[in-house]
């Protein structure tokens, strides 16, 4: 099937779409009786929505491929994650609301602990508390501001994470990570991935910046070193409004998800990762936007912790927010996930995610329970996640007929 | 969905994968009560594997397209059969272990019986016994060794089949078959498919070689003629280990299947088409490889013969070998087919083939019987066969996360 540009078909009928993402929702058998977390959870609201809609399963990136948080969301937003790739640094920058400009090179930093011989003993500096991290970033921002005419900008993120942005003319982002991904060895040197002049020059600059940073950090006890990953520029992609004709807002309490949504042009509303408050924030922006992406984080965290009962409880909490969203009267209300995070695997996985789409225009199927197995019988079938946006637009009455 | 190069995601965790192919497994209703062969067969082992795994259906090449043996297997190996095409002659050569070199042109030969006027009366020379065929090939190999500075190399295959390889500089493989595909007419002349100099020259050479062969064969009673098909050079494709990071072995008693597996870089272990011995051969190579393709031939043969009961029996025999494979402890055990061969059609067909994948990381589905209809409800859905390899790698823990 060839790819279709939807733009000539777009029509604005004022209808609204809510995409409610339960992060890491999908599972594999892990609980009592070999159930998945979603099978074990009581989800009366999602089950009721099924009777007003249709369901199926979405494959996030590619068969068998486990998505990171960025690709998992991009697919739901209708951006093929294989075509639209983005470096970690740029994603992190946009996520914390940093004004990443065209030509800037961003890197994600992890504070780490080094021993007296410069070997890493803790790649996360004991998960440095956010306040501590802010203090340390403040020291760096004061001490290392410029190298050879290029600005070094520092920003705290959360816990042991921070952001470094190099701003100047003619920088390249083809740089390798300095994080060796293991302990007991020294951080790696910054290297260019090829012989391109911009990359070689930027590698030399980044080396100087990190060397100066190391000197500043030497007086720290926990965060006496720093590792850089995912050097990247901000990509310039066609925006969500241009592609789908929707003014879009994101309600996500975690910088990463807000970041990826902003990359495709969504505007960020206030968010806290407390679902009731986040729904209220969405409601406050109701008149101003056509499309709302609201993110529920805790399901993924519980999955990564391998805590089956916690994931079940969080799924039930997420389900509890559905009535407040319904009350706003969206033409289309979608519940799905960016990827699976089975507690049995304590990690993201490639397994397809259940999706339910409630709309007056939906063809109802016989499915009555929202879970991975029941949704196999749903009318949406098993499809790539990039199919979701055209289906959402269609059910919202926003796509005109194709051809005469 | 864009295509994805899996190589940057590969990780070697030492896990092993078995791909157990029941050739021509799929059917259409033909037996008592309108059952398929697989529905009629008792497959307790495959059914039990289902409870430890997931299932679905694979479409071998393209909707509605009936695969030959080569394309059917290439899809399972993760090589899109539309992109990776290979001529019959080259496939046959690699299958018999012939050292086909870059630039060689191979053709598959069929001995045939001609009447006094040179018309074909039997396209297979009464399915000439293999020993007879070897003797006749020996005569050709002695009498026709070289024409105009180009070597003619002859090799027996099985029954009435043989192989001709032309070896020399600047040969082309754009030649048409001399087999008219029917009886009562004379063999066709060798023609080039276009005006390319290499093809025209090679057509002239092949014409001389076959004319000399006909003279030698004139004294034979049954095999007094020969037909040439599928002139082809050996393709040079990226290997299985390069693409998937797996040291791979093939256990297949029939040259064709061994040939296609060797084309993608699998190493051939001993094989006899007796399943118990072939499983033992696989077991003997267990420590040396990561991926094992083991081929069960008889199901396809019974399908082509239109023998429903025989196919049922062979399916049950194939099922019986599953416990010995399980005992080896593969991380992933897959049972599927290269294509359907319904006894009702006595031929290969385009119908999707059932697939089951057993692994600890599989999301279980409710399917309890391994057959074409039940697998429609499986978690793998209906997908192109090229999706199988990424799914196998994922379930074996051999694919890292994509993107941040």
Chain A, nearest residue to B6 by Cα? A65
DSSP reduced 3-state for B41: coil
Q: How confident is the model at residue A391 (pLDDT cuts 50, 70, 90)?
A: very high
Q: How far is B312 from chain A (nearest CA, A)?
A: 29
On chain A, the residues whose CB falls within 8 A of the CB of B403 are: 61, 67-71, 81, 85-86
Interface test with A, best of B6, B57, B391, B403 (most A CBs within 10 A): B403
On chain A, the residues whose CB falls within 8 A of the CB of B377 are: 376-377
Given a cut of 70, whether residue A141 has pLDDT beyond it is yes
Interface test with B, best of A57, A59, A376 (most B CBs within 10 A): A376
- Residue B238 is predicted with a pLDDT of 95
Residue B363: which of A66, A85, A351 has the nearest Cβ? A351
Q: Which residues pair with A115 in a beta bridge?
A: none
Hey, CA dihedral for A391, A395, A398, A400, is it positive or negative?
A: positive
Given a cut of 70, whether residue A153 has pLDDT beyond it is yes
In angstroms, the first-to-last Cα distance of chain A is: 20
What share of chain B in percent tops pLDDT 70?
Answer: 100
* pLDDT tens for each residue of B7-40: 999 999 999 999 999 999 999 999 889 999 999 9
Rounded distance between C-alpha atoms, residue A87 and residue B6, angstroms = 18
Run of H or E residues at B298: helix B298-304
Burial of A287 (0-12, 13-18, 19+ CB in 10 A): exposed
Given a cut of 80, whether residue A154 has pLDDT beyond it is yes
Phi then psi dihedrals of residue A204, to 5 deg: -65, -40
Given a cut of 80, whether residue B291 has pLDDT beyond it is yes
Q: Which residues pair with B166 in a beta bridge?
A: B105, B152
Rounded distance between C-alpha atoms, residue A49 and residue A333, angstroms = 9
Chain A to chain B Cβ contacts (< 8 Å): 103
For the domain A10-86+237-395, what is the CATH code? 3.40.720.10
Hey, CA dihedral for A307, A312, A314, A315, is it positive or negative?
A: positive
Residue B402: which of A71, A344, A386 has the nearest Cβ? A71
Taking the CB of residue A15, how many other CB atoms lie within 10 A of it?
A: 18
- Closest to B15 (Cα-Cα) out of B178, B208, B245, B281: B245
Residue with tokens 């995610």: A353
* pLDDT tens for each residue of A6-15: 999 999 999 9
* pLDDT tens for each residue of B59-98: 999 999 999 989 999 999 999 999 999 888 998 898 787 8
Runs of H (alpha helix) within B189-239: 197-217
| Widest distance between CA atoms in chain B | 74
Given a cut of 90, whether residue A168 has pLDDT beyond it is yes
DSSP code, position B272: -
Residue B391: which of A36, A63, A86 has the nearest Cβ? A63
Rounded distance between C-alpha atoms, residue B67 and residue B64, angstroms = 10
Rounded distance between C-alpha atoms, residue A390 and residue B384, angstroms = 23
Q: Do B390 and A83 touch (CB under 8 A)?
A: no
Q: Do B364 and A29 touch (CB under 8 A)?
A: yes
**ipTM of this complex > 0.90?**
no
pTM for the whole thing? 0.88
* pLDDT tens for each residue of A105-117: 999 999 999 999 9
3-state secondary structure chain A: CCCCCCHHHECCCCCCEEEEEECCEECCCCCHHHCCHHHHCCCHHHHHHHCCEEEEEEECCCCCCCECHHHHHHHHCCCCCCCCCCCHHHHHHHHCCCCCCCCCEEEEEEEEEECCCCCEEECCCCCCCHHHHHHHHHHHHHHCCEECCEEEEEEEEECCEEEEEEECCCCCCCECCCCCCCCCCCCCCCCECCCCHHHHHHHHHHHHHHHHHHHHHCCCCCCCEEEEEEEECCCCCCCHHHHHCCCEEEECCCHHHHHHHHHCCCEECCCCCCHHHHHHHHHHCHHHCCEEEEEECHHHHHHHCCCHHHHHHHHHHHHHCHHHHHCCCCCEEEEECCCECCCCCCCCECCCEEEEEEECCCCCCCCCCCCCCHHHHCCCEEEEHHHHHHHHHHHCCCECCCCC
Contact A229, A61 (CB under 8 A): no
Rounded distance between C-alpha atoms, residue A225 and residue B58, angstroms = 51
Residues whose CB is less than 8 angstroms from the CB of residue B163 and which lie 6 or more positions away in sequence, other chains included: B89, B92, B93, B96, B98, B106, B107, B108, B109, B154, B155, B156, B157
Contact A285, A330 (CB under 8 A): no
Contact A51, A325 (CB under 8 A): no
Q: How far is A167 from chain B (nearest CA, A)?
A: 23
In angstroms, the first-to-last Cα distance of chain B is: 19
Q: Do A372 and B363 touch (CB under 8 A)?
A: yes
3-state secondary structure A165-188: EEECCCCCCCECCCCCCCCCCCCC
Would you list the domain boundaries of chain B?
12-86+237-395, 91-232
Taking the CB of residue B339, how many other CB atoms lie within 10 A of it?
A: 30
Rounded distance between C-alpha atoms, residue A31 and residue A19, angstroms = 28
Taking the CB of residue A266, how many other CB atoms lie within 10 A of it?
A: 25
- Closest to B227 (Cα-Cα) out of B237, B217, B219: B217
DSSP reduced 3-state for B124: coil
Residue B364: which of A34, A66, A377 has the nearest Cβ? A34
3-state secondary structure B302-364: HHHCCCHHHHHHHHHHHHHCHHHHHHCCCCEEEEECCCECCCCCCCCECCCEEEEEEECCCCC
Residues whose CB is less than 8 angstroms from the CB of residue A307 and which lie 6 or more positions away in sequence, other chains included: A343
* pLDDT tens for each residue of A366-382: 899 999 999 999 999 99
On chain A, the residues whose CB falls within 8 A of the CB of B379 are: 352, 372-373, 376
Taking the CB of residue B197, how many other CB atoms lie within 10 A of it?
A: 10
What share of chain B in percent tops pLDDT 90?
Answer: 90
Average pLDDT score over residue span A163-174: 96
Hey, CA dihedral for A110, A116, A118, A122, is it positive or negative?
A: negative
* Alpha carbon A93 to its chain's center: 12
Contact A128, A136 (CB under 8 A): yes
* pLDDT tens for each residue of A299-344: 999 999 999 999 999 999 999 999 999 999 999 999 999 999 999 9
Q: Which residue has the higher pLDDT, B337 or A255?
A: B337
Residues whose CB is less than 8 angstroms from the CB of residue B353 and which lie 6 or more positions away in sequence, other chains included: B25, B26, B57, B58, B60, B336, B337, B338, B339, B340, B372, B385
> Which CATH architecture group holds B12-86+237-395?
3-Layer(aba) Sandwich (3.40)
* pLDDT tens for each residue of A50-82: 999 999 999 999 999 999 989 999 999 999 999
- Closest to B339 (Cα-Cα) out of B330, B331, B347: B347
Taking the CB of residue B123, how many other CB atoms lie within 10 A of it?
A: 18
Q: Do A67 and B363 touch (CB under 8 A)?
A: no
- Residue B1 is predicted with a pLDDT of 63
Chain B, nearest residue to A70 by Cα? B404
- Residue A328 is predicted with a pLDDT of 98
């Amino acid at each position: 099937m060839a790819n279709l540009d939807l733009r000539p078909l777009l029509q604005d009928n004022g209808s609204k779409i809510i995409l409610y993402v339960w992060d890491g929702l999908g599972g594999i058998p892990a609980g009592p009786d070999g159930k998945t977390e979603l099978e074990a959870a009581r989800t009366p609201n999602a089950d009721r929505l099924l009777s007003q809609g249709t369901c199926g399963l979405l494959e996030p990136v590619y068969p068998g491929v486990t998505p990171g948080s960025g690709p998992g969301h991009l697919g739901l937003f209708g951006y093929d994650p294989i075509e639209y790739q983005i470096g970690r640094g740029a994603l992190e920058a946009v996520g914390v609301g940093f004004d990443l400009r065209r030509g800037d090179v961003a890197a994600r930093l992890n504070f780490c602990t080094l021993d007296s011989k410069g070997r890493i003993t803790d790649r996360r500096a004991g998960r440095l508390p956010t306040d501590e991290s802010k203090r340390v970033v403040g020291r760096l921002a004061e001490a290392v501001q410029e190298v050879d005419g290029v600005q070094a900008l520092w920003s705290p993120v959360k816990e042991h994470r921070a952001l470094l942005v190099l701003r100047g003319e003619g920088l390249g982002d083809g740089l390798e990570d300095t994080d060796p991904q293991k302990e007991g060895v020294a951080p790696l040197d910054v290297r260019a991935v090829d012989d391109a002049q911009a990359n070689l020059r930027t590698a030399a600059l980044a080396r100087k910046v990190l060397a100066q940073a190391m000197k500043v950090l030497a007086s720290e006890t926990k965060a006496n070193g720093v590792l850089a990953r995912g050097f990247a520029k901000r990509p310039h992609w066609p925006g969500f409004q241009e592609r789908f004709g929707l003014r879009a807002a994101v309600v996500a309490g975690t910088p990463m998800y807000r970041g990826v949504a902003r990359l495709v042009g969504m505007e960020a509303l206030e968010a806290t990762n407390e679902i009731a408050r986040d729904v209220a924030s969405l409601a406050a922006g109701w008149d101003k936007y056509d499309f709302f992406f609201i993110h529920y984080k805790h399901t993924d965290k519980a999955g990564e912790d391998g805590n089956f009962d916690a994931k079940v409880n969080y799924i039930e909490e997420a389900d509890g927010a559905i009535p407040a969203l319904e009350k706003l009267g969206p033409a289309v209300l979608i519940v799905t996930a960016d990827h699976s995070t089975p507690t049995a695997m304590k990690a993201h996985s490639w397994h397809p995610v259940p999706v339910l789409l409630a709309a007056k225009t939906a063809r109802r199927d016989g499915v009555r329970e929202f879970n991975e197995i029941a949704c196999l019988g749903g009318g949406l079938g098993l499809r790539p996640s990039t199919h979701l946006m055209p289906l959402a637009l269609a059910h919202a009455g926003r796509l005109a007929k194709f051809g005469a």
